[in-house]
Amino acid sequence: MSTQDLVPSPVGPVDVEQAEAALVERYPRLVRIAYLVLPPTMGRNRRVLTAHALVQRALPRRRVPGPAVPEPRRPEDAVDPGYAYVRGEVLRQALVAGLPLRRLAVPRRAQLPPLLPQVWGLRLFPRAGGADELALDQLLSRLSAPARAAYVLRGLERQGDAEVLRVLASVGAGDPESALAELAALEDEPPPGGAPAGARPAPAAAAGPAAPPDARTAPAGGRGRAERVAEQAGPGRTRSGGPLPGSPGSPGSPGAPEEADAGGPTGPGDGRDGRHRGARLSGASLLESAEFDPCTLQARPGDLLRRRQHGRAAVVGAVALLVCGALLGLPGDGWGRNGAAAPSYARNPAAESALDPAKVRRVGAGVWPGAVRRDFSVWPARGELAGDTGLLRRALAVWARPGGAVESSATPGTPVGPPMGPPQLLFAGRVDAARVVLLHDGLRIVRYAEPVEGTAGAALDFARTDAAEGPGAAAVVVTRAAGNVRYLTAPWVTGASVRDLLMPGKEPWRLGRDARGVTDAVPSPALAKECARWNTLQLKDDTGSRLLGDLGELVPARLLWGAPGAAVEATGREARAVWARTACQLTTVLGQGVRSVRAWRFARQTLPEGAGRAAWVCTRAETWRGTGSRVLAQFLSPDPEAPAALAARAQDIPACGEREPRVLAGALWQAPGGGWYVLGAGGPDVASVEVKGGVAARAEGPVLAAAAQAGARAELSATLEDGRRMPALK
């Protein structure tokens, strides 16, 4: 027979209602079919649940189409169309469920454990049968899934070979004829010890000595496959026009049909040795026995000790999962008590004490007037949120463990680790659209800011302020927003105003402050793109006035004027005039941890060709960390409106400082008449200046002017009054 002929019988279209009616009516039989086709290696409990799941999933989702005009039906097609469809779906899924799982293949639905039905705490299995049922179950375990399906279709559904082939082909069996060949090979094996053999679990010849002579003497090859199918077809099937030998109602049958179907004994023995029961069941009766009925079940508990162990393990795993999920969720979403802080990595008593908001140090408002020093240690705790424990807890936690979402910054040389002990609270309050906390630990000022709504977008800034006293501890930046800056002033500050360094003749204008000491917003030069104005903060207390410049850090830098060791506040007229021409050079020291910037006019020089009198200014920026200082040498032309020209700059050198107050600088200058000159100038203790290279000249005194060519390069040096040589800044 060609495999092209293996097509399902034309039963026409099937409605969902028709399939459901067939499933409900024949549900026990469909579950039995699935149970028999599923591999016995699955175990009886799993086979039972899987068989029920396969049948319950066999309903179509919509109308199943069929041929418009059904073909003539064959005698073996006398099956309800709805039942035929549902049975085919059950067989299809049962064949898939028996396939082994591949490592790289995606498992199909039928290969996975069923979602429904589920039974917890019990193991279900059909009622136990006798020796014949056990032999049949062993036989089924030896067959492949298509062969088991063919066996069930023969014995339980009473289908002939042609219809068995069609059904197997329609449900997706790979090689239906191989399944029948596998059954034929097992049929030819001799029965072991009188038990049912091969595909014939209860052949008629084994029922007793009353079998017809032709059934005992006919050669095995002379019997066709249809005859062998009929032998296991059970009661009601005929072979050569008569009942099965040994089946109920056949000649020589030792028992009545009811007794044979029920599996009860009908005689004293089987005619051999008297050790087996007198009448054996037919093939259909075995398949219909309680051994293979997954709808009539027995229940037993599972392994109670293992269940208890697994339950404890599940509880421990669930608790661990909840703890890990809580730890992972705390910093990212901001809903934890520590806000945007990263997970805690250490449990140290000192560290825990430093992060306890209840132990944060608070200084009273009446402490600073009687203090010996005026520094951050005597600042009182201010702000309407100074008592907000949750805000302080988040600030301390983020300080110790800033998460990845925290915008953190620190001036150069500032350690960013957690506090060594409980810090001092300077301020906690709402400023603009943020909640701000300012803390001080004796070495650093730490600013924590978070939005008013939520904790996402928290910011953390560090600034080194060791040994800050007096003017160095007069103000701290609270917020920066939209190009503006607000300051928190010291409690001893009596007045605040704003002075533009680029406009030395203009009087400063008053800057308002609230009751907490927070100033109004001021345009910050550190945030400006152009040097159009340079606003400074001018503060007044009982010792005088001073200028503080915003260089992009938490603590504004102090602006000074004068020679090293004799510097004063840059509030005088001469100082303001020089700072007005040199202020734009402060952009070179933004964000460098600058503590103070001092400008000093170290020389004056009369220019050649009657061009007027120029000045030389040295600007030195000192840092909080001591290293990283910068020195700028600037040339001020006779035009009082022209900005200073940068002649030289250096870093980490003592020149123009208290340790080395001397300085020498030079520049190539073009006179108004077009001539080029090399200019040089040194401090008051310079005895002579000399230039070599492209230009050779020497001048007594602290200044030099020598004619040169455009683009000339020369090396400048000076001799001090004590005879030492000093190079120029480069």
- What confidence score (pLDDT) does residue 554 get? 95
Q: Bigger pLDDT: 438 or 72? A: 438
Q: Bigger pLDDT: 103 or 441? A: 441
Is the Cβ–Cβ distance between 425 and 360 less than 8 Å?
yes
User: Six-digit token pair at 454?
Assistant: 């939520």
**485 pairs with which residues across the strands?**
480, 522
Q: How confident is the model at residue 305 (pLDDT cuts 50, 70, 90)?
A: confident
166 pLDDT higher than 80: yes
- What confidence score (pLDDT) does residue 347 get? 62
Range from 303-307, 440-444, 472-476 carrying the lowest mean pLDDT: 303-307
- What confidence score (pLDDT) does residue 12 get? 55
- What confidence score (pLDDT) does residue 236 get? 32
- What confidence score (pLDDT) does residue 324 get? 78
- What confidence score (pLDDT) does residue 203 get? 35
Q: What is the Cα–Cα distance from 197 to 209, expressed in whole angstroms?
A: 18
- What confidence score (pLDDT) does residue 62 get? 67
pLDDT tens for 357-398 read 999 999 999 999 999 999 999 999 999 999 999 999 999 999
- What confidence score (pLDDT) does residue 20 get? 85
537 pLDDT higher than 70: yes
pLDDT tens for 451-498 read 998 667 899 999 999 889 999 999 999 999 889 999 999 999 999 999
pLDDT tens for 94-133 read 888 878 777 777 778 777 777 788 888 788 878 887 888 8
600 pLDDT higher than 60: yes
550 pLDDT higher than 90: yes
Q: Kindly tell me the number of DSSP H helices and DSSP E strands found in the chain.
A: 16, 29
- What confidence score (pLDDT) does residue 306 get? 77
574 pLDDT higher than 80: yes
207 pLDDT higher than 50: no
> What is the mean predicted confidence (pLDDT) over 163-181?
87
pLDDT tens for 266-295 read 333 333 333 333 333 445 678 888 888 888
424-431 sheet: strands from edge to edge: 407-410, 459-464, 444-451, 434-440, 424-431
Q: Report the amino acid identity of residue 45.
A: N
Is the Cβ–Cβ distance between 668 and 708 less than 8 Å?
yes
Q: Measure CA 500 to chain center.
A: 50
- What confidence score (pLDDT) does residue 192 get? 42
Is the Cβ–Cβ distance between 590 and 556 less than 8 Å?
no
> What is the mean predicted confidence (pLDDT) over 178-197?
64
> What is the mean predicted confidence (pLDDT) over 695-706?
94
Q: Which of 28, 12, 32, 29 is nearest to 82 (CA)?
A: 12
**Measured CA angle at 530 (ends 526, 534), to 5 deg:** 55
Range from 233-247, 464-478, 551-565 carrying the lowest mean pLDDT: 233-247
H or E element, residue 536: strand 535-541
- What confidence score (pLDDT) does residue 65 get? 61
* Residue-by-residue DSSP string for 113-135: PPSSS--SSEEEEEPP--HHHHH
- What confidence score (pLDDT) does residue 327 get? 67
**Measured CA angle at 170 (ends 169, 173), to 5 deg:** 45
- What confidence score (pLDDT) does residue 261 get? 36
Is the Cβ–Cβ distance between 588 and 375 less than 8 Å?
no
- What confidence score (pLDDT) does residue 239 get? 34
Q: Is 709 helix (H, G, I), strand (E, B) or coil?
A: coil
432 pLDDT higher than 80: yes
H or E element, residue 286: helix 283-287
Mean pLDDT of the chain: 80
> What is the mean predicted confidence (pLDDT) over 621-631?
93
Q: How confident is the model at residue 66 (pLDDT cuts 50, 70, 90)?
A: low
> What is the mean predicted confidence (pLDDT) over 583-611?
94
At residue 424, φ and ψ (nearest 5 deg) are -100, 135
221 pLDDT higher than 70: no
> What is the mean predicted confidence (pLDDT) over 152-179?
87
- Give the percent of the chain with pLDDT over 70: 80
> What is the mean predicted confidence (pLDDT) over 189-194?
46
Task: Name the residue ranges covered by the structural domains of the chain.
Answer: 3-200+281-292, 556-727
197 pLDDT higher than 50: no
Q: Which of 188, 207, 104, 94 is nearest to 148 (CA)?
A: 94
- What confidence score (pLDDT) does residue 455 get? 61
CA distances from 438 to 240, 386, 447 (A): 105, 10, 5
Q: Measure CA 125 to chain center.
A: 46
Is the Cβ–Cβ distance between 447 and 554 less than 8 Å?
yes
* pTM of the full structure: 0.57
- What confidence score (pLDDT) does residue 593 get? 93
- What confidence score (pLDDT) does residue 160 get? 87
HSE (CB half, 13 Å, CA atoms) of 258? 0
- Pairing state of beta strands 459-464 and 407-410? parallel
pLDDT tens for 336-368 read 567 777 666 556 677 778 889 999 999 999 999
Q: How confident is the model at residue 79 (pLDDT cuts 50, 70, 90)?
A: low
- What confidence score (pLDDT) does residue 564 get? 93
Query: Which residues make Cβ contacts (< 8 Å) with residue 417, sequence separation at least 6?
Result: none
Q: What is the Cα–Cα distance from 314 to 348, expressed in whole angstroms?
A: 32
- Pairing state of beta strands 475-481 and 484-489? antiparallel
> Hey, how many other C-beta atoms are within 10 angstroms of the C-beta on 318?
10
User: Six-digit token pair at 711?
Assistant: 């683009």
> What is the mean predicted confidence (pLDDT) over 177-186?
84
